[in-house]
Structure 1
């Protein structure tokens, strides 16, 4: 039997090992029971998938199990971005949404992501209830299904395409007229759900663009569908070789993460993009509110917040916590270093499509490259450089890890520890403004080491001190 456990963004597993049709049906029934417990079974559930193996079949099976439980399924006709499902939940007033995606994970993975009626990723109290119900069902048939035909006849299945309504709403959040003056743009949906979403607004306005990797491919071209520098060498080469391209925009497999290339093909870290957009939105749009970032995300954001006199909300890793603040209307923008962000008035879910277009608008209206904008921001608030490394643990180091991080030293990297934050992992704030964070993976013997400092030389020293603390 497979133990069902939800991580920061749903339940994920390897196809044919733990991610099987039987286990998926159990999880869907557990979600159905959770919805019924809340008295929301009459509102229906939006169901979608990304471009992974068997995504459409899993989505159909989910619809049949929900129909068997008397809950209507709004089944998307094609693969669909995660933020679009979030948007559709809110637009329809649905009980929630189920998306079959493993986001940026390698192609052998798939996953179930559940979003409740408020549109953001399910909070821990919700996923704990679903986990408990699913694990109690293991080993027996606990669900019934209606066929697609029968579900349709009973009014429990409706095929939908949420694309046009989402794109229409995007028009009110992005200045596409400004983007039209930018020049040629390069697009890369990484064989995922961003195709038809990244390009449609540009086609509509005859904005020049070039697009690669714009067909569905469950192998994602041989790389995990993550728009990070190491996974998009073809895209970087494209931008470098075409002097007419002003900007490169990329999304991950389910289009909730973004990747940005400057006009020279250089990759811009998501940390810096979030800080730039915070500054831009407050200056240009005069939007009021604070900013939310995860504990692992750059303090360059804090420096921008100080410049504008707005509060910073530090959250655990997981966009659900940022989504909560969006629903409470407390923040201008919320973001994570793993390339997720959303803004005030938009869905409480990370949206790579929106992020890409906001960057294009910013570059177009400011009349500067991303690097020029970043250098300008550094001159105003101070320079910050950031990095993340993965540290593999031996069985002995893994056994000693908890005791080690619970007894942190008073001094690290020749600097006193000013504060220890344990919102999520162990974060050491040093007196010179640099910091490091240790977060242990929940699925493998790996510690993620995050670090930040005011120079590359200082950052190297901070990261080496963190490495020695864990491994030495």
Structure 2
């Protein structure tokens, strides 16, 4: 029997293997017990799901467990993006939210994401608590359920449509008038996920010319993982590239919390470049105040922009649950991570791919330049930064010595002094010229994720090569 394990963004598993109705009921009971003990359960829970198999069925089972515990559920009436659920938690002042999604993972996965009253993902101390409760109940019928008709009759479940309120909130953050006035045409790709009828619809309603693709639900996601990365968006990239009138391609993942951006010439723009571009735009063009928070694996291009504008950078472990609290506390203007996560002050403390795409569209419309042109200009003003990422598979012999190697960092890397280390998540070597290398051990596979950054493409490639040699030689 598989144990319940929460990762960086909730509990995920494979259908009919570890992600089963029985386990969903157990985890739901663990959440119900936690909420009752916290004393906040009377404010109710927002419950939603994306376009995966049996999403609404899993959501209804959770509602039945919560109802039996005397906890009201606000059940979304259709597949709903994660950031929309976060927004609804805040709007209703609910005690939390439960969303059935495996985000960008393949179709044979599903997951359960538990969000707090803040609208942000549950923090590690809470997910560890839920793991303990759930694993203690595995194999036993420790959950209670109430039939749906009784739950409705008792007022313990209410069907809701959070879409209008969320879209209204976007109008306070995005200059739709500027996007429409630019006359640009935008391609939107929902990747068959819950983002359909959100990004494409709100742009079209504002008078923007939109070409929408993959905007119908498909639990197979067109036969590939719903991840808005360059390798997944080949056809979409070609669509943008071959259409002279197209200014941008905007994509969201399965639950629309991640984004993928295609420039007018078909170039995929990495999130590590989108974050500094938007930070600079918000400060320089929109005149907004505030600092920035990023994960330890995210590009220091963000730091260069912050330094240029005299803003502070906060660094967190990987996972938006660590970034969200800074947003909730209104400490920062922008929060982001290299894995296509972004939010801004005044919005939810969780990543929002819909908002990210809209802000990029506004930035291009207002400045009248392609993203590549804006990147060149930004590099001239704050300094160029190049990033690379690799996965290093470990044999048993090398794996046994991994921790010891990182515990005694080298004094030099590629002829440059190591001037510091960061160990909040993996180990990051900081070099004297601003370059850096981060090693993060996978918790599920015998591999190490390596992130490298330098002031030149060749320098970044050399760091990747050095990292491989450092671990394996």
| Superposition TM-score, scaled by structure 2 size | 0.99
Q: Is the 8 A contact 1:44 1:72 kept in 2?
A: yes
Distance 2:53 2:472 in 1: 38
Counterpart of 2:42 in 1: which secondary structure?
coil
Distance 1:400 1:12 in 2: 30
Unaligned runs of 5+ in 1: none
Q: How many pairs were matched up? A: 472
1:69-108 residue pairs with structure 2 within 5 A? 69-108=69-108
Q: CA deviation at 1:217?
A: 1.1
1:206-256, Cα deviation, whole Å (9 max, x unpaired): 321111111111111122111010111010010011010001101111000
Q: Which residue of structure 1 lines up, in the alignment, with residue 110 of structure 2?
A: 110
Q: CA deviation at 1:80?
A: 0.5
Q: Which residue of structure 1 lines up, in the alignment, with residue 210 of structure 2?
A: 209
Q: Is the 8 A contact 1:26 1:134 kept in 2?
A: yes
Q: Is the 8 A contact 2:51 2:254 kept in 1?
A: yes
Q: Which residue of structure 1 lines up, in the alignment, with residue 394 of structure 2?
A: 393
Distance 1:376 1:341 in 2: 22
Q: Is the 8 A contact 1:249 1:356 kept in 2?
A: yes
Is 191-200 or 283-292 further displaced after alignment? 283-292
Q: Which residue of structure 1 lines up, in the alignment, with residue 125 of structure 2?
A: 125
Q: Which residue of structure 1 lines up, in the alignment, with residue 5 of structure 2?
A: 5
Q: Is the 8 A contact 1:2 1:23 kept in 2?
A: no
Distance 2:442 2:52 in 1: 24
Distance 2:445 2:220 in 1: 23
1:125-181, Cα deviation, whole Å (9 max, x unpaired): 111111111111112111111111110000001111100100011001000001102
Counterpart of 2:437 in 1: which secondary structure?
strand
Q: CA deviation at 1:469?
A: 1.0
Q: Which residue of structure 2 lines up, in the alignment, with residue 18 of structure 1?
A: 18
Distance 2:206 2:322 in 1: 36
The alignment's C-alpha RMSD in Å is 0.9
Q: Which residue of structure 2 lines up, in the alignment, with residue 347 of structure 1?
A: 348
Counterpart of 1:230 in 2: which secondary structure?
coil
Is 355-364 or 222-231 further displaced after alignment? 222-231
Q: Is the 8 A contact 2:388 2:461 kept in 1?
A: no
Q: Which residue of structure 2 lines up, in the alignment, with residue 174 of structure 1?
A: 174
Q: Is the 8 A contact 2:46 2:96 kept in 1?
A: yes
1:128-277 residue pairs with structure 2 within 5 A? 128-182=128-182, 183-277=184-278
Unaligned runs of 5+ in 2: none
Distance 1:212 1:467 in 2: 40
Q: Which consecutive aligned stretches of 4+ in structure 1 deviate over 4 angstroms post-superposition?
A: none
Distance 1:145 1:219 in 2: 30
Q: Which residue of structure 2 lines up, in the alignment, with residue 57 of structure 1?
A: 57
Distance 2:104 2:401 in 1: 31
Distance 1:194 1:440 in 2: 32
Distance 1:141 1:196 in 2: 40
Distance 1:198 1:232 in 2: 17
Distance 1:214 1:451 in 2: 36
Distance 2:65 2:209 in 1: 45
| Superposition TM-score, scaled by structure 1 size | 0.99
Is 405-414 or 24-33 further displaced after alignment? 405-414
1:378-428, Cα deviation, whole Å (9 max, x unpaired): 000111111111111222222221122112211112221111110100000
Distance 1:158 1:399 in 2: 53
Q: Which residue of structure 1 lines up, in the alignment, with residue 423 of structure 2?
A: 422
Distance 1:407 1:110 in 2: 40
Q: CA deviation at 1:329?
A: 0.7
Counterpart of 2:6 in 1: which secondary structure?
coil
Q: Which residue of structure 1 lines up, in the alignment, with residue 37 of structure 2?
A: 37
Q: Which residue of structure 2 lines up, in the alignment, with residue 402 of structure 1?
A: 403
Q: CA deviation at 1:37?
A: 0.8
Distance 1:194 1:184 in 2: 19
Distance 1:57 1:254 in 2: 17
Q: CA deviation at 1:313?
A: 0.1
Is 90-99 or 390-399 further displaced after alignment? 390-399
Is 26-35 or 219-228 further displaced after alignment? 219-228
Is 176-185 or 393-402 further displaced after alignment? 393-402
Counterpart of 2:34 in 1: which secondary structure?
helix
Q: Does 1:431 align with 2:432?
A: yes
Q: CA deviation at 1:297?
A: 0.2
Distance 1:397 1:82 in 2: 39
Q: Is the 8 A contact 1:275 1:304 kept in 2?
A: yes
Q: Which residue of structure 2 lines up, in the alignment, with residue 460 of structure 1?
A: 461
Counterpart of 1:42 in 2: which secondary structure?
helix
Q: Which residue of structure 1 lines up, in the alignment, with residue 312 of structure 2?
A: 311
Distance 2:418 2:44 in 1: 51
Q: CA deviation at 1:289?
A: 1.2
